[in-house]
């Protein structure tokens, strides 16, 4: 039987999703994207899963869209294949997703990592948008999300020349949250996800939504959303528990209500 294209495991309250097309460096075929969307949606609908790790292999997180499929498809078949809807479905996941990146993180792979909520990278990671070398440009948010993450100068440099950033450069430019030793990338991503999973889910979801809104709305509207989210979080049982636990000098036990 063929190996599953996505490996799924659970580590306490953390769902771990691993892309598994190692021979193609996890090129994001339609089949792989469909499996990712299905798995992420399943974890997202499970209240016992409070954070997700999305990873690839040690050699590659993902080397981009599947160039074979891109080359065989026509604009119409690519459009009709639901390609864009898959990316939207991942963006709509409410559970925080930590990208665990080792090795190549290129093209659609970099766009996928940027669609996650934060990136934990191995010191071996290489980030790039090399589509320009193929005569195209990023097609899944790269020109927008990379520019917001690293600023215009570095985004222009990467997208117009195809230059890759090392993990340390990606950290310095604000693309990744943490860089760790080669052997620790997955364990550290799981540890960070575990830390998030121990917090109150209501506050976590509202905070993720408010941070994402910072890229969509004017400052005044974002601050207004934050204020309302703050009061909504305060109305949760988790806030009662968190505040009480602090005063009683014990660890809170959040239920997600
Ligand atoms: N699609 C399909 N197959 C790919 C692939 C991709 N994006 N990237 C790598 N592979 C395959 C290679 O064809 C090769 O397969 P074979 O062994 O059958 O020949 C295998 O993975 C290993 O790759 P290499 O032999 O090339 O390995 P390398 O170590 O010499 O080079 C690499 C690694 C620099 C990542 C190189 O493979 C490469 O440049 N890959 C393409 C990266 C790229 O251009 N990505 C952008 C794709 S377009 C896109 O993503 C559009 C979008 O925004 C949505």
Mean pLDDT along residues 36-53: 97
Q: Is the CB of 138 under 6 A from ligand 1?
A: yes
Of 107, 121, 131, 197, the active-site residue reads 131
Q: Mark whether 136 and 179 lie in a shared domain.
A: yes
Chosen domain end from 160, 177, 197: 197
Is there a catalytic annotation at residue 42? no
24/27 Cα distance (integer angstroms): 6
For residue 257, being part of any structural domain is answered with no
- The percent of residues in the chain predicted with pLDDT above 70, rounded, is 100
Total domains in the fold of the chain = 2
Residue 138 has pLDDT above 90, yes or no: yes
* Cα 187 from Cα 113, distance rounded (Å): 17
118/221 same-domain check: no
Q: With bands split at pLDDT 50, 70 and 90, how would you rate the model's confidence at 79?
A: confident
Do both 149 and 238 map to the same domain?
A: no
Is residue 254 situated within a structural domain?
A: no
Ligand 1 centroid to residue 235 C-alpha, Å: 49
| Cβ proximity of 19 and 56 under 8 Å | yes
- We report the CATH number of the domain holding residue 157 as 3.90.226.10
pLDDT reading at 2 higher than 90: no
pLDDT beyond 90 at 84: no
Q: Is the CB of 109 under 6 A from ligand 1?
A: no
Strands (E) across the chain are located at 6-11, 14-19, 51-55, 60-62, 97-101, 104-106, 118-122, 126-128, 165-166, 178-180
Specify the ligand 1 atom closest to the Cα of 137. 53
Are 22 and 135 contained in the same domain? yes
DSSP string for 131-168? GGGGT----SSHHHHHHHHH-HHHHHHHHHH-PPEEHH
120: nearest Cα among 14, 44, 49, 217: 14
CA of 65 to the centre of ligand 1 (A): 9
State the distance from the centre of ligand 1 to the C-alpha of 25, rounded, in angstroms: 7
Nearest to 119 by CA among 158, 62, 44, 174: 174
Pocket lining: 140 vs ligand 1, CB cutoff 6 Å: yes
Per-residue pLDDT, 179: 98
Asked if residue 242 and residue 215 are part of one domain, the reply reads yes
**What CATH number is given to the structural domain containing 227?**
1.10.12.10
Cα distances (angstroms) measured from residue 188 to each of 179, 181, 183, 195: 9, 9, 10, 10
Told to judge if 125 belongs to the known catalytic residues of this protein, a careful annotator would answer no
Q: According to the model, what pLDDT value does residue 178 have? A: 98
């Amino acid at each position: 039987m063929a190996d599953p294209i996505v490996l799924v495991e659970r580590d306490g309250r953390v769902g771990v999703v691993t892309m598994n097309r190692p021979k193609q460096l996890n090129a994001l075929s339609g089949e792989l994207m469909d499996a990712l969307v299905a798995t992420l949606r399943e974890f997202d609908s499970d209240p016992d899963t409070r954070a997700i790790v999305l990873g690839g292999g040690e050699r590659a997180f993902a080397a981009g869209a599947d160039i074979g499929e891109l080359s065989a498809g026509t604009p119409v078949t690519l459009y009709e294949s639901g390609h864009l809807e898959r990316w939207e479905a991942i963006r709509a996941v409410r559970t925080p997703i930590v990208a665990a990146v080792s090795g190549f993180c290129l093209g659609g792979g970099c766009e996928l990592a940027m669609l996650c909520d934060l990136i934990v990278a191995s010191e071996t990671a290489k980030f790039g948008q090399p589509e320009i070398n193929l005569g195209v440009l990023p097609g899944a948010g790269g020109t927008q999300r990379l520019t917001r993450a690293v600023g215009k100068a570095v985004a222009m440099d990467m997208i117009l020349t195809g230059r890759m950033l090392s993990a340390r450069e990606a950290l310095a430019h604000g693309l990744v949250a943490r860089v760790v030793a080669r052997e620790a990338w997955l364990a550290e991503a799981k540890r960070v996800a575990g830390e998030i999973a121990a917090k109150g889910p209501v506050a976590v979801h509202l905070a993720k939504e408010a941070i994402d809104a910072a890229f969509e709305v004017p400052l005044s509207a974002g601050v207004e959303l934050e204020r309302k989210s703050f009061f909504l979080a305060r109305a949760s049982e988790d806030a009662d528990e968190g505040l009480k636990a602090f005063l009683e000098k014990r660890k809170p036990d959040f239920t997600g209500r």
